[in-house]
Chain A
Amino acid sequence: MSTMGTFDAFTTARLGIYAAQLGLQVTGNNVSNINTEGYTRQRLDQVSFKAGAYDRYRSQMDNHVGSGALVMNINQIRDPYLDVRFRNTRADVGYTDRMLAGLQEVADILDEIGKGENPEDNEKGDGLLHAQIQDLAEKLRAYEAEPTKTNNDLVRTSAGILCGLFNEYAGKLDKLYQDTLKDFDDQVTEINECLTNIRDLNREIRDCEIYGDNALELRDERNRQIDTLSQYLHIKVIYTEESIGSGQTVEKLSIYLDDDNPDKTVHTDESMLIDGVFGAQLYRTPVPNPNFDPDQDPAAGNEPYLDKDGNPVLELKDAAFTDNFDLSISKLLDVKDQEWKGISTVYEKVDAATQAIIDALRTSETQGATGGTAPDQWTVKEPATKAVYGFNFTPSGVKWVDGNTFTIAGTNYNVGDTAAGADISVDDANDPEKLAAFICGKLAQDPEYTGKYNVRIDPANPTTILFEAQNAGAIPVSERPRLGAKAGTDPEGKLTFSTRQVITAGKDAVLTPPAEKTDPDTPEENAETITSYQQINGEWNKVSTIIRHTKVVDLDDNDLHGSLQATRELLTEKGEFTTPDEVKIDENAAERRGLPYYQLSLDLLARQFATQYNKINVGYMQDKDGNYINEKGELLELGGVPGVPISAVNGLTDAQKQALIDAGLVDKDGNPDITQWLEKTTTLPDGSPNPDGAVKMGGVLFSNRNDNDDPSNITAANISVSHSWSNGSVSLVPTYKVLFLEENGVKVPHTTQSDNAGHMLNMIEKNLVYNPRDLVPDSVSTKLFEGNFNDMFSNMNTICGQDIRANNIALNNSYTQLVEIDTQRDGVSGVDLNDEAMNMMQFQKALNAAMRMMTVIDEALDRLINNTGVAGR
């Protein structure tokens, strides 16, 4: 029968009560947090408990009963795979949602569906810019039919409204850009807050875990933060175990970017953001100072950055940011802003050359002596000393007699009559001093000591033999004189020496190794190696300590995914306006279109519009057949091509084209440009009008400000009706043709001829090539679109619409997926009322049962204690 304490049953019941109570608490906690965002369902980790050990004399008949239930832990229920899927999908949602929002904001500005009103029947939907271009066409059509001042004014008014629309759209796009820029910075700030929070939570959780607390609520918060972060960035979360010593480990959470760059050679897209208690921060890459020397510490005169004016600055906060919103990841810092470091130390024997230096200096008796060359110079700190050992000869008291022998260093010596060939006389042998001198003389000749020691009698003590080392330095024990043993066989037992006395200890010189040396960036990047020498067990070792630092990572264009990347693309992607340098960074850049694309497209449309109309309204006088003439009505001729009129309507002859090319009068594409020639002929070298040259007519209609006539660098934001057109000094030129101009200025008027106005009207419908290089000279594409003004604007909207559609579909897909995963995740980690109700009932019943158990045992013991054995009383 097993042993069981009388009151063990109480303990069993009590454990049941505890467990049930805790279960109820957990249930209550779950129910309370049913609406807490990020809360993970908790569960009691309960095990069956059995106390005690087996009996010494265990019977097979014994039955062991458990001792109740123990609550081992309170756990969370999470599915890491669902977390991964959720975060991946959330990054997709973040990206498409932000991209969609940005594009929709573009569409809100540019999309004219349902806008505008048709004045004829008050029907809506003609658009604004669309309709205004047609309104201008209508006014031009009227001007073409009747080139009057009134109609000129009407055209100008319409053009002014069109310019206003361009300005308005450009302004709104710019405002959107600024808002998006702010959003970008806000997102970076939020990401950094998340990263800081996660890092700090890691630390708190680590501390809790060390003290045995699971820190479930902190984990919930950390998960919530990670979920939030995953919306901005596509991340990879990795859990590992971290040793905290004594064989104990705690969980370590690391977060990396999740390898989004399609270029497999790029690895910055796998950079670490969080490593346990260390965390990085994201920041916009500052403009680097090309003159910065990275081998020197940043300081005045060696500033690492440039500010927006191009001046070198020391602080990151003062630096300007790169134009393409490049991002960098900072070094990993802990909560005290201390940098993460990885330290490893390698001990190795010094190399032969160094050992030779050491050996040379080891026996040096000169303090300050040096060996090697700086900085690898060794110095003698304390000089070496020579060892002196002494052996005292003490007579045994038994007299030597003739015939006695003794052995020194393997040679037998006879005591007796020296005349008879004995080595030492009896008298001398019995004189300790003489015997000592005899022995000393023999030892001095011992090859074992020759060249190592000088053997002599101590002058202060004639019975003491001294062994004085010839060289300074420590002498190994094996090489020290051992006279007792050397005395050899002493059959008479009369030769006795004291033990070896160290008169002077032989010491090696104490060396000072070369100063500690630090090599940055060797042998690996972002690490420094500290080299020093350390004497271990008398041996000098080279000690290499490698300290690894985390590094600042400059992210590539495509390293990120998520809403931050979407915002960045919205801010940077220029589609066909992309330059080759940008394509080198992202080969798909020319197919990605963000706000700059739409801004530049609108600018290109405005510039094309202004350029074409300015070109039409500036020309040179022609005769009725369209040949250029001077103010006397004479036909102009190109030098080298005599007798051939220069026709504005039939094009140039091959000879005329060649003449222009020969004269270098070509446009940017290398085509002959007659306009340059005509312009040159208008004035004489002294600047006065040339009566034999071309006669310039008209003036620019559109300029970059309404108070000037400068047609350069016109954009949608600045396109204006020119000052001269506004004040009437320039009007639309209905025709450049002059009928029958005679030398005296007489001509046949044709006040309603309007062939040039016809060009203007035709221009509205003319198919033009929109060349991105007109705005961005080194853009990769030379053709954005070909069509008329309306078509170009419509094309912008179509592209935007298609992008919105594509993103909308992607968003719907990813969002549906996200909801599904989140629901699944909730299925694992979420609190369910039915579940909790069941748990509540279950734990309540268990509690009741345990308490009932307590009562039952109490009653049983009461019976046993108070009511047993009282029969018959």
Chain B
Amino acid sequence: MIRATTGGVLRSYRYNLMNSFITDNKARETVLTQRVFNSYAEDPAAAAKSFRLRKSRMMTSSQLKICDNTYHKYQGAFASLQTVSELIDTENSSSDVSTLKDAALRMLNDPTGDARTQLNKVLDNLSDTIIQNMNQTYGDEFIFAGADGHNVPFTVEEVNGKKQLYYRGIPVDAAKPKLTLNADQSRVEVQIEDKNTGAVAPLDPNEATYLRQGVELLDASKVQEVERETNGVPVTLYGTDGNVYYLLKKTPQATGMDEAAFEAYMTQVETDYRANNPAATDEEVQAAVDEERAKFTETFEFVEPLPANPRTYYMAEDLVLKDEFDTVDDSIMRDENGNAYTVTVDGTKSYLIKGSDNCFVTESEYAKACSDAEKLEYLANEKRFVDIGLGFQEDENGKLIESSAFNECLSGLTFLGYGVDEAGDPKNIYSLVQRLKDIAVNAPQEGKWDKATYDEFDRLVGKLEDASSEFKTQFTNQSAGTEKLKNNYDLLEDNVYNLKEQYSNLEDVNMADAISSFLWAEYCYNAALKVGNSVLSQSLMDYLQ
């Protein structure tokens, strides 16, 4: 610069003083706000990162709340399951009869009527208590209701005098019925055979009815049809041997011969034999005649008075002993009209042995049972995910990636069991108890149980133990879930602190640095002010006399 003027010097001074003041102000602002930057413009990258970290902290805090909530729900579940577990089976139980298992075993081993009655009540109460526990709530939500937390999950209804447990409206014992199938896996339909006409018709013309698997069948060949009176009463013949016979209907030669005709026939047999066997001895002839005679059964017609009835000879194969007929024929199932239920398995017509309760299933019943079983299966495995900080992401179709969320769904079914086992016995603890209870109620009040009842009771007690074991497994799984939530909670808490630390490192000033900078800026500013004083005062004008 060739020339420095008063104005120029002052302008330069003002500019530099302003810079000094800005620096001072900036340093002061840093100390006051304790922040490294106060706008995006100061450090866009750090600002953006800081907001990301803060967002993560807010998100993690929020996830922490959900995790905490879920953890407490699981703790509530744990308490309920603990109680249920104790009600089912606790080795260290202090009470004499306080568990299902105990009660059942006692019933098995103390089969007196009074005791059974008492134990029945115990079983009933215990099973109800279990259900009550499984209907516990956490907040407004039923813990074990799966994804239907606003409705009570387990309900008990009385069906045909028996208590039936329902889970969300579905009977817990629902299972897909096992049907008797043909080799081609087609279902075996139940029909009815008209005993008079022999015509075969569906059980219900409007709905197919199928046969459950495991029903005993009787080969149709063993079922013999006899001649019947017009009123349906079999034509009964009384044998001279003291047996009662029925006349087989199918026999084409079912025409009996009276005594005279028979004797004439026998004479003819003898004559024919001698003619055919000229060398035969009399003994041999007699033997042949006797052999032929033995083929016939001598009967009396079924007329009163018997003695007045003539003797009649029938071929033995045309008659069936009444006892024998009744043994087979009366064991097959018939409808109210006396028509036999028939099934055709692989082309073989069969009858059903009596004693198979509930051996039919209609198409609608079958469909409902299948549907219920499917529902139970779905409900038992139902999922409901919450975001507890595991990532919570969806795939490109908008489907949640399950590993990124926590399935907090607790289905009562998985704990108490559902459906039936291979043997057709319920797997649900409550249902098993009800079955035990029913057996006990129906058993004779006095004396020991018959073996069959005892065996069945014993078998069901065994199933109860299996169900109890499954319960404990699920209980353990749930406990593991609780533990996972606890660990996750701790992790999230750590994350929150870490995130706070991270953005604090980004945003917060080192106060020692900030104060040093501020003091230096202040010092510089003061110095600049002092300089200003000298700038303004120095001029030749001041020295003019």
Tell me the B49-98 residues at the A interface (CB within 8 Å).
Answer: 50-52, 54-55, 58-59, 61-63, 65-66, 69-70
A794 located at the interface, meaning its Cβ lies under 8 Å from any Cβ of chain B in the complex: yes
Bound CA–CA A649/B540 (angstroms): 90
Contacts of A828 in B (CB 8 A): 2-3
B141 touches A832 (CB 8 A): no
Q: Which of B112-120, B268-276, B337-345, B397-405 forms part of the interface with chain A?
A: B397-405
By the criterion CB–CB under 8 Å, are A750 and B147 in contact? yes
Q: Does the CB pair A827–B1 fall under 8 Å?
A: yes
A114 proximity list for chain B (CB < 8 A): 33, 35, 38
Which of B48, B58, B61 gathers most chain A CB within 10 Å? B58
The docked-state distance in angstroms from the alpha carbon of A819 to that of B13 is 10
Contacts of B50 in A (CB 8 A): 113, 125
* B437 proximal to A (CB < 8 A): no
| Stretch with Cβ within 8 A of B (4 or more), from A160-168, A529-537, A689-697, A801-809 | A801-809
Given A34-B6, A739-B378, residue A142 in contact with residue B540 (CB < 8 A): no
Residue of A107, A142, A753 touching B39 (CB-CB under 8 A): A107
**A649 & B399 in contact (Cβ 8 Å cutoff):** yes
- Is B382 on the interface with A (CB-CB < 8 A)? yes
A764 nearest CB neighbor, chain B only = B59
B169 at the A/B interface (Cβ < 8 Å)? yes
CB distance from A424 to the nearest CB of B (A): 108
> Which of B52, B378, B384, B393 makes the CB contact (< 8 A) with A754?
B384
Q: Does B454 contact A (CB under 8 A)?
A: no
Whole-angstrom CA separation of A822 from B58 in the bound complex? 52
Say yes or no for A105: interface residue by CB 8 A criterion. Answer: no
Partner of A826, one of B5, B37, B146, B393: B5
- Would you list which residues of chain B between 519 and 545 have a CB under 8 Å from chain A? 539-541, 544
Chain A, residue nearest B16 (CB): A819
Interface pair B5/A835, CB less than 8 Å apart? yes
Q: Is A153 on the interface with B (CB-CB < 8 A)?
A: no
Pair A130/B47 contact, Cβ less than 8 Å:
no
How many Å lie between the Cα of A801 and that of B42 in the bound state? 7
The segment from B148-156, B208-216, B312-320 that touches chain A is B148-156
Within 8 Å of chain A (Cβ to Cβ): is B100? no
CB-CB under 8 A from A740, the residues of chain B are 371, 374-375, 378
Interface residues on B, range: 35 or more
What A residues does B392 contact at CB under 8 A?
758, 761-762, 765
A141 on the interface (CB 8 Å rule)? yes
A459 within 8 A of B: no
Interchain nearest-CB distance for A128 vs B (Å):
12
Contact with B along A346-378 (1 / 0, CB 8 A): 000000000000000000000000000000000
- What residue of chain A has the Cβ atom nearest to residue B392's Cβ? A762
For the complex, what is the distance from the CA of A835 to the CA of B145, rounded to whole Å? 98
> Is A126 positioned at the interface, with any CB of B under 8 Å from its CB?
yes
B235 interface residue (CB < 8 Å to A)? no
Residue A259 is within 8 A (CB to CB) of chain B in the complex: no
Q: A131-139, A581-589, A671-679, A722-730: which one contacts chain B?
A: A131-139
| Contact status A141-B387, CB under 8 Å | yes
Residues of A within 8 A of B39 (CB): 107, 111, 113, 801, 804
- Partner of B54 from the list A127, A830, A832 (CB cut-off 8 Å) is A127
In the complex, what distance in Å separates the CA atom of A749 from the CA atom of B167? 11
- B398 touching A649, Cβ below 8 Å: yes
| C-alpha spacing A638/B37, complex, angstroms | 58
Q: Please indicate the chain A residues that have their CB under 8 angstroms from the CB of B48 in the complex.
A: 794-795, 797-798
Q: Within 8 Å CB of B9, what residues of A?
A: 823
Q: Contact check: which of B5, B386, B397 meets A830 at CB < 8 Å?
A: B5
| B149 CB contacts on chain A under 8 angstroms | 146, 751-752
Best-surrounded residue of B54, B59, B371, B507 (most CB of chain A within 10 A): B54
Given contacts A125-B50, A144-B386, A762-B392, 4 further A-B contacts (CB under 8 A): A34-B7, A104-B41, A148-B140, A834-B539
The CA-CA distance from A329 to B525 in the complex, in Å, is 47
One digit per residue, 1 when the CB lies within 8 angstroms of any chain B CB and 0 when it does not, for chain A 720-753 equals 0000000000000000000110000000111111
- CB pairs A–B below 8 angstroms (30 shown): A107-B41, A112-B51, A113-B35, A125-B35, A125-B507, A126-B54, A126-B58, A127-B51, A134-B55, A135-B58, A141-B386, A142-B65, A146-B149, A148-B150, A749-B150, A755-B400, A758-B394, A762-B400, A797-B40, A802-B41, A802-B44, A805-B41, A816-B15, A826-B8, A827-B1, A828-B2, A828-B3, A830-B8, A831-B7, A837-B540
**Does the CB pair A134–B58 fall under 8 Å?**
yes
Most chain A CB inside 10 Å of its own CB: which residue of B11, B35, B170: B11
Known interface pairs A137-B59, A748-B379, A802-B44; A831-B3 also in contact (CB < 8 Å): no
* Residue numbers in A under 8 Å from B140 (CB-CB): 146, 148
Q: Check if A55 is an interface residue, CB within 8 A of chain B.
A: no
Residue of B3, B52, B70 with most partner-chain A CB within 10 A:
B3
Whether B54 pairs with A125 at a CB distance below 8 angstroms is yes
Q: B4 interface residue, CB < 8 Å from A?
A: yes
Range class of the A interface residue count: 35 or more
User: Which chain B residues border A791 with CB–CB below 8 Å?
Assistant: 52
Residues of B within 8 A of A802 (CB): 41, 44
**CB–CB A130/B12 < 8 A:** no
Please give the distance in Å from B503's CB to the nearest CB on chain A.
8
Contact A142 B66 (CB under 8 A): yes
Contact of A824 among B1, B44, B400, B544 (CB under 8 A): B1
Inter-chain contact B387/A761, CB cutoff 8 Å: yes
Whether A131 pairs with B58 at a CB distance below 8 angstroms is yes
Which are the 3 A-B pairs with shortest beta-carbon distances? Answer: A801-B40, A826-B8, A804-B41
Which chain B residue lies CB-closest to A789?
Answer: B55
Give the complex CA separation of A118 and B399 in angstroms: 33
Closest Cβ of chain A to B20, distance in Å, is 14
Contacts of A118 in B (CB 8 A): 58
B427 is an interface residue with CB less than 8 A from chain A: no
Asked if residues B65 and A138 are in contact (CB atoms below 8 Å), the reply is: yes
The verdict on B168 contacting chain A, using a C-beta distance below 8 Å, is yes
Q: Given that A111-B40, A134-B55 are known contacts, is A752 also in contact with B6, CB under 8 Å in the complex?
A: no
A11 to B321, alpha carbons, bound, how many Å?
A: 183
B40 interface neighbour in A759, A798, A819, Cβ under 8 Å: A798
**B385, CB-defined interface residue at 8 Å:** yes
> In the complex, what distance in Å separates the CA atom of A41 from the CA atom of B55?
62
A residues near B11, Cβ cutoff 8 Å: 819, 822-823, 826
Given contacts A141-B66, A748-B170, contact A837 B544 (CB under 8 A): yes
Distance from A804 Cβ to chain B, minimum over Cβ atoms (Å): 4
Chain A minimum-CB-distance residue to B15: A819
- Expressed in whole angstroms, the Cα–Cα distance for A755 and B147 within the complex equals 10
Q: A833 within 8 Å of B by Cβ?
A: yes
- In chain B, what residue has the closest Cβ to A36? B7
Distance in Å: Cβ of A622 to nearest Cβ of chain B: 12
* A337 touches B (CB below 8 Å): no
Chain A residues within an 8 Å CB radius of B69: 145-146
A841:B399 contact, CB within 8 angstroms: no
Q: Please name all residues of chain B whose beta carbon is closer than 8 Å to the beta carbon of A754 when the two chains form the complex.
A: 147, 384
Q: Is residue A120 within 8 Å, beta carbon to beta carbon, of the partner chain?
A: yes
- A60: chain B residues at CB < 8 Å are none
Report whether B5 and A790 are in contact in the complex, using a CB–CB cutoff of 8 Å. no
CA distance A649 to B395 in the complex (A): 10
Please pick, from A111, A137, A748, A800, the residue contacting B168 in the complex, using a CB distance under 8 A.
Answer: A748
Query: What residues of B have a CB within 8 angstroms of the CB of A111 in the complex?
Result: 39-41
A183 to B398 CA separation, bound complex (whole angstroms): 49
Which among B51, B150, B393 is the interface contact of A762 at CB below 8 angstroms?
A: B393
- In the bound complex, residues from chain A placing their C-beta under 8 Å from that of B405 are 758
Cβ contacts under 8 Å, A626 to chain B: 399
Query: Complex formed: what's the CA distance from A841 to B379 in Å?
Result: 110
A778-817 CB contacts (< 8 Å) to partner B = 790-791, 794-795, 797-798, 800-802, 804-805, 808, 816
CB distance from A796 to the nearest CB of B (A): 9
In the complex, which residues of chain B have a beta carbon less than 8 angstroms from the beta carbon of A822? Answer: 8, 11
Asked if A66 CB lies within 8 Å of chain B CBs, one says no
CA of A750 to CA of B149, assembled, Å: 7
Q: Are B148 and A752 in contact (CB under 8 A)?
A: yes
Structural contact, A650 and B375, CB atoms closer than 8 A: no
